[in-house]
Structure formats: C-alpha cells, structure tokens
C-alpha cells in the first residue's frame, strides 16, 4: 500500500521505516531540509536502537523515500499518517497544535479524492472532529480523518511499532477502519489486539494511558518521600506491593522521575483540555502528579548538597546521564540535565557524561562541562550522581573509580545500582527513598530544565 508519513522526528521516522519494513511503499515528509537529506542518504538524525538498519533496508528496497514537499505527498498516495510534534504551548499548559493545523492546511488543496488522514500525534480530544471541519472549509469535501495513537517508548520504538501491546483505530467510517486493518494486517495476523472505536475515544486512550503511567511513577516517588521521613526502604516497598496483580511491579521504580517529550506535556495538556470541557476537577490530581515529579529534581539537588558537606558551591560534581532516559539521545525536559543545570546555578563545577546525548546537551547547556568518558567525568569529583539509567553505568566498577574521585560519594538517583557493591568498595551510597537521614528536602521548589 502507498502512504506518506508526515513528520520524521522520533515518532515519524520510526513509523515510516517500520511501515516500509512490513512491505508498504512509504514517502516520508518533513519541512526540515537537513533532516530530510540525512534520512534520504540513510542516516538517522537521532539515536534510536535498530532504526538505522530499518532505514537502510527501506531505502535499499526502494520502499522508503523522503521529501520536503507536502504537495508531492498529497499526490503520492491517498493515505497520510500525521506524526508532527504537539509540544506544550509557549504561554500555557495546553497542546500547541500549529504543526498539525499547518499540515492539514498544506495537504487540503492537493489531496486525492477520498483521501484518509490518520493522526498518530498525541492531541487533545476533539482534534479529529475539528480537523475534519477544517478540511471541509479548505475545499477537501471527500477527505476523512482517523486517529491511530502511538504508544512508543523511546529506546524501544522499533519493537513497540512492529510488536505493539495493542492497536487502536479511531474512525468515523467502516471504510477508514478497513484501510487501517489492511495497513496493519501483518501485525493483526500475528495476534496483536486491535481496538476499534470512535475518534474521540482513540484520542483519549493515549492521554489516559500517559496520565496513568505518570500517576504510577509519581505515586512511588511520593512513597519515597514518606520512606525517607520514616527511615524505610522504598525499593522493598515497591517490590512488596508489586506482587499484587491489581498494582503490578512495572513503573514502580522510585527515583528522579519522568521527563521527555511526552509524559510531562501530555498530562498538562490533558488537564487543560478537561478544563475547557468543564470537567477539570475530574483530573485535578494531575497537578499534584506533575508537582511530585518536579519535586524529585529539587530533592536530588538538596541531597547532593548534603553529600557535598552542606553546599555544592565550588564542589566538583560528576553527572552520569544527560538524556531523559537510557537508549535515547533525547534531552527534552531531561530530569538529569535539570539537576545538572540547577547545581551549576548554585555554584557547583558540573561535568556531564552520556553515551549518546552529549552533543544535544552541549547545544542546550554550553555552560556545563562535558566528558566523553565516564572516568574523565569522575576525575576529582566530590560527588558522583547517577541520573540516567544506562546499562553502561550499572556495569561500572566502583573500585576502578575510587582513585579518580576526590571523595567516594555516590547518589544513585535511579535506584538501580547495587548499594552493597558500592559500599564494600568504600563509597558512601545514597538514594531517594532509602536513606532518610540524608534525604529530607530543604525546599519544595521545582527545578526546570529550561534555559
């Protein structure tokens, strides 16, 4: 089947490559000429495990091409996947839909009769209905809108596209549902569950899923605060309650909290849209979820100060991690960089390492110091912070780092290193939710990564 994928960022590039991988003829579209040229030459402009190989295979097979022309895209096929960004509005918590609107406006005059536009971007409920009216007003009376939300985890996006937990088709007609069933036929035949519904429910499914995940993460981080006050161990608490199949163990990992381009802005946009629908009180709890998440950053800064002897001014701090999560080079709303930047503001000498995100971090925060190797980042450090849970960091040998640091002090803000290994090597080990004597916060003010 011929199709276009409009927007070739973390979502669109993966979707385009995976659709070509399962046999479709795909034209990727983006208004960023440098990104389009890179993809057309077989180079991925960001890090995502497995994507480079898929892009190469798609181009070599002739099933995957790229362009900057929306007009060419509209005439290439009657099926268009919309994968552009929906960031937070610059002046409020709602979703900024200008890119979505611009694509629909650009396509409308050139669409083939009966064209189907399928949204994958995360949007407020009611967007498909609004865009349908926009298409009609722009002179595309036979075009249709559907919504097929994505549920990708950066670092696992290829597998999450080719072997998803479920497919959701939000459509307004049996014909649109049939088209989507044909697109995903190989996945459906393999037994992937498929939920067919209306567009409004499909839009809400993604917002609800992200809100639930954010709630679960912030819940265990709230429990970490209580554990610190009570002298309890949040990792054991999470393990114990996780045996209950009504609760489950995944996403009960206390630590620095969530970031990235999805969860933070999505829960804020959901809250804003619910307020517009006059049901804001139904999701008012999301404000506290957001606040708990941001508070973990402040608590990490405060615990670093305690480990450094009461102040970070003039102290050298090694920061292990810049990406918002492992297996990605994405630094959008990165908790690790938010902490690094705040420590810098408070007078610390911060040196950052990350296996993939150094270039992006350096561009966003040139004030910080960077090291291409972990040992260089740790040289002379008064405190070492583990802020992004890369496998490389979990495999570190503390005995090898001890001669390099000024003082062997570790803050494991992801609660994923083995404290026994580090303490046996002579390190002072601290982690949120596990050492109450060290982790009482001195301030509840959130820390932002913007700068």
Answer whether residue 414 shows pLDDT above 70: yes
Beta strands of 23-99 (E only): which ranges? Answer: 25-29, 64-67, 79-82
CA distance 429 to 4: 51
Residue 74 CA neighbour count, 13 Å, CB half: 17
406 carries an active-site annotation = no
Every domain of the chain and the residues it spans: 2-198, 205-451
Q: What is the DSSP string of 375-408?
A: HHHHTT-SEEEE-S--HHHHT--HHHHTTTSSS-
What rounded mean pLDDT belongs to the chain? Answer: 95
Answer whether residue 437 shows pLDDT above 70: no
DSSP H or E segment with residue 272: helix 263-276
CA distance 289 to 271: 11
Answer whether residue 447 shows pLDDT above 60: no
Answer whether residue 184 shows pLDDT above 80: yes
CA distance 63 to 27: 8
CA distance 41 to 27: 14
DSSP classification of residue 87? -
Closest CA to 326 of 357, 299, 360: 357
pLDDT tens, 128-156? 999 999 999 988 889 999 999 999 999 99
Rg (C-alpha) for the chain, rounded Å, is 23
How, if at all, do strands 428-430 and 369-370 pair? unpaired
pLDDT level of residue 451 (50, 70, 90 thresholds):
very low
CA distance 303 to 307: 6
Answer whether residue 284 shows pLDDT above 70: yes
Q: Determine what percent of the chain is predicted with pLDDT higher than 90.
A: 95
φ/ψ bin of 27: left (φ > 0), alpha (ψ from -120 to 50), beta (otherwise): beta
Closest CA to 75 of 133, 115, 30, 33: 115
Topology (CATH level 3) of domain 205-451:
Rossmann fold (3.40.50)
| Residue 449 confidence (pLDDT) | 54
Answer whether residue 444 shows pLDDT above 50: no
**Active-site choice (83, 262, 378, 406):** 262
| Residues in a beta bridge with 120 | none
| Residue 139 confidence (pLDDT) | 84
pLDDT tens, 106-135? 999 999 999 999 999 999 999 999 999 999
Q: Identify the CATH number of the domain defined by range 2-198.
A: 3.40.50.720
3-class SS at 149? coil
Predicted TM-score of the model (pTM) = 0.92
Task: State the Cα angle at 121 between 96 and 134, rounded to 5°.
Answer: 65
Q: Among the listed ranges 158-162, 418-422, 438-442, which one has the minimum average pLDDT value?
A: 438-442
């Amino acid at each position: 089947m011929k199709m276009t994928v409009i927007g070739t960022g973390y979502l669109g590039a993966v979707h385009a490559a995976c659709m070509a991988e399962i046999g479709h003829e795909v034209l990727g579209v983006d208004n960023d000429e440098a990104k389009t040229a890179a993809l057309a030459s077989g180079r991925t402009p960001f890090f995502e495990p497995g994507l480079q190989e898929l892009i190469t295979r798609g181009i070599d097979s002739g099933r995957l091409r790229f362009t900057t022309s929306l007009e060419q895209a509209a005439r290439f096929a009657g099926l268009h996947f919309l994968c552009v960004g929906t960031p937070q509005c610059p002046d409020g918590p709602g979703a900024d839909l200008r890119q979505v609107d611009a694509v629909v406006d650009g396509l409308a005059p050139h669409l083939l009769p009966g064209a189907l536009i399928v949204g994958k971007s995360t949007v407020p409920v009611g967007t498909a209905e609004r865009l349908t009216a926009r298409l009609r007003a722009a002179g595309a009376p036979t075009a249709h809108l559907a919504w097929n939300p994505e549920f990708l985890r950066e670092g696992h996006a290829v597998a999450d596209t080719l072997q998803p937990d479920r497919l959701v088709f939000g459509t307004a007609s049996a014909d649109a549902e049939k088209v989507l069933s044909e697109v995903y036929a190989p996945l459906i035949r393999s037994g992937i569950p498929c939920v067919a519904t209306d567009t409004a429910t499909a839009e809400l499914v993604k917002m609800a899923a992200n809100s639930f995940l954010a709630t679960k993460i912030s819940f265990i981080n709230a429990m970490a605060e209580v554990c610190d006050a009570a002298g309890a161990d949040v990792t054991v608490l999470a393990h114990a309650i996780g045996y209950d199949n009504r609760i489950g163990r995944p996403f009960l990992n206390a630590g620095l909290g969530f970031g990235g381009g999805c969860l933070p802005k999505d829960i804020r946009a959901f809250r804003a849209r619910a307020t517009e629908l006059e049901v804001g009180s139904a999701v008012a709890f999301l404000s506290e979820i957001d606040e708990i998440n941001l508070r973990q950053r402040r608590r990490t800064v405060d615990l670093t100060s305690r480990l450094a002897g009461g102040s970070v001014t003039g102290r050298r701090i090694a920061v292990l991690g810049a990406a918002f999560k492992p297996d990605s080079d994405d630094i959008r709303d990165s908790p690790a960089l938010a902490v690094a930047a705040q420590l810098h503001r408070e007078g610390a000498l911060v040196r950052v390492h990350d296996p993939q995100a150094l270039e992006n971090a350096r561009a966003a925060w040139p004030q910080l110091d960077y090291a291409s190797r972990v040992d260089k980042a740790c040289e002379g450090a008064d405190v070492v912070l583990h802020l992004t849970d890369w496998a490389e960091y979990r495999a570190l040998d503390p005995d090898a780092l001890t001669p390099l640091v000024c003082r062997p002090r570790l803050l494991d803000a992801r609660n994923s290193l083995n404290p026994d290994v580090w303490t046996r090597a002579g390190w002072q080990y601290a982690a949120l939710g596990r050492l109450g004597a060290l982790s009482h916060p001195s301030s509840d003010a959130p820390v932002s990564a913007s700068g």
